[in-house]
Amino acid sequence: MKVLVINCGSSSLKYQLIDMDGEKVLCKGLCERIGMESSMITHEANGHKATTPAIFPTHTEAFAEVVKKMTTGEGKCINDVSEIDAIGHRVVHGGEKFKESCLITDEVIETIRELSPLAPLHNPAGILGIEAARKVFGNIPMVAVFDTAFHSTMPPKAYMYAIPYEYYEKYGVRRYGFHGTSHRYVSGRMAELLGEMPHRLITCHLGNGSSLAAIKDGKVVDTSMGFTPLDGIIMGTRCGSIDPSIVSYIANLENLHERGMNRLLNNESGLLGVSGVSSDFRDVLEEAENGNERAQLAADMLEYQLVKLIGSYAAALGGVDAILFTGGIGENAMGLREQVMHDLAYLGVTADLAANNSRGEEVRISGADSKVEVWVVPTNEEIMIARDTAELIK
């Protein structure tokens, strides 16, 4: 069975075609600047990777070009679209309606649309992708996989905010959590690597966006992203948790309204805002090495907040048996991992520094005498989406 995995942004379309027999990636790529000038597609298959200019007024033309790349030329990996058995779409917000992945019907699309106020940037883009795929791929069955779904096991005491209850009832204001597909994949992988699901597990997805999840017996009991992906730990350009009063304080002083404040907190804060250098952790580390104090401060804040959050999740779980790192930063930033393990010595964590000296590999980085297993597990959201899709259409 061949499954096409789709992740649509408002102006982008990421895709991967996976042969479920052996879970082999047949091709992958990215369409960028959809609806703008200078659109382009990067397609990778058969050891060839090429970026070519294209004209993408909408996602429909982008999908048509993806089909062309998959069926012709050097990047050809199928003869015809009829070889694709199903399409799996990443959808950011499933609200309280979608607690697991589901087959896409007209009704499902309507419900995703109704949830758009909760994810105004993301859900409309997901719908654009679903509708364009329907136009290009006709009747191929499609599945929606939600970023929020894995966190739906959180108890109310973890997901409620202490604001008047009516705002939960009227507007759905609560913690939902995101990156669920990644936390689900890596926690499942952890269970495979350890031979059983750890009783108390903390997963740290650290990338441009970052979130932690506290997982008890395979079920999420708390997570750091909240009503939106802005909450939690310091990220590339997102502020993470701040005192909510800061919003009205700065808004008044700077005469900023909703849009301006959203931009400040989502796009101008985090590692970028503190360091003044970059949202990219590699750049921040390099500048810190060169003696830039604000870059060092941003890196220190990430490490400190990580240790603090892991500590609070250890408390929530009543202890911790395993901790894992994933995402671009989690999989690659050896120095950060070493420092975090050092600071978690009070939990009985010891480090295997030789093992920690690795990037992007599945590896145990805690010492043989560590009371807590600490691992690096590279994430693979696409395979999770493909597996759900294959399972649902069977």
Binding residues for ligand AMP, per CB under 6 A?
207-208, 236, 280-282, 285, 327-329, 332-333
Q: How far is the CB of 16 from ligand AMP (least distance, A)?
A: 15
Q: How far is the CB of 357 from ligand AMP (least distance, A)?
A: 12
Q: How far is the CB of 7 from ligand AMP (least distance, A)?
A: 13
Q: Which is nearer to ligand AMP, 3 or 329 (CB)?
A: 329
What is the rounded radius of gyration, in angstroms, for the C-alpha atoms of the chain? Answer: 21
> How far apart, in whole angstroms, are the C-alpha atoms of residue 63 and residue 191?
36
Q: Which is nearer to ligand AMP, 263 or 282 (CB)?
A: 282
> How far apart, in whole angstroms, are the C-alpha atoms of residue 244 and residue 319?
30
Q: How far is the CB of 236 from ligand AMP (least distance, A)?
A: 6
Q: How far is the CB of 2 from ligand AMP (least distance, A)?
A: 26
* 116's tokens: 């758009």
Give the helix ranges, DSSP H, for the chain: 59-71, 106-114, 123-137, 156-159, 166-171, 180-194, 245-254, 258-267, 270-275, 281-289, 293-317, 327-332, 334-343, 353-356, 381-393
CB-based contact 42:11 (threshold 8 Å):
no
Q: Which residues are catalytic?
A: 147
CB-based contact 277:294 (threshold 8 Å):
yes
CB-based contact 274:239 (threshold 8 Å):
no
Q: Which is nearer to ligand AMP, 282 or 342 (CB)?
A: 282
Measured N-to-C along each axis, helices 123-137 and 106-114 cross at an angle, to the nearest 10 degrees, of 160
Q: Which is nearer to ligand AMP, 198 or 236 (CB)?
A: 236
Q: Which is nearer to ligand AMP, 63 or 281 (CB)?
A: 281
Q: Which is nearer to ligand AMP, 190 or 221 (CB)?
A: 190
Q: Which is nearer to ligand AMP, 126 or 229 (CB)?
A: 229
SS3 string of 81-150? Answer: HHHCCEEEEEECCCCCCCCCCEECCHHHHHHHHHCHHHCCCCHHHHHHHHHHHHHHHCCCCEEEEECCHH
> How far apart, in whole angstroms, are the C-alpha atoms of residue 292 and residue 276?
10
> How far apart, in whole angstroms, are the C-alpha atoms of residue 231 and residue 229?
6
DSSP string computed for 288-335: HHTT-HHHHHHHHHHHHHHHHHHHHHHHHHTS-SEEEEEHHHHHH-HH
Residue nearest to ligand AMP (CB): 328
Q: How far is the CB of 309 from ligand AMP (least distance, A)?
A: 18
CB-based contact 351:207 (threshold 8 Å):
no
CB-based contact 132:4 (threshold 8 Å):
no
Query: To which H or E segment does residue 25 belong?
Result: strand 24-32
Q: How far is the CB of 353 from ligand AMP (least distance, A)?
A: 16
Q: How far is the CB of 325 from ligand AMP (least distance, A)?
A: 11
Q: Which is nearer to ligand AMP, 133 or 333 (CB)?
A: 333
Using CB atoms within 10 Å of the CB of residue 84, give its burial: 0 to 12 exposed, 13 to 18 middle, 19+ buried: middle
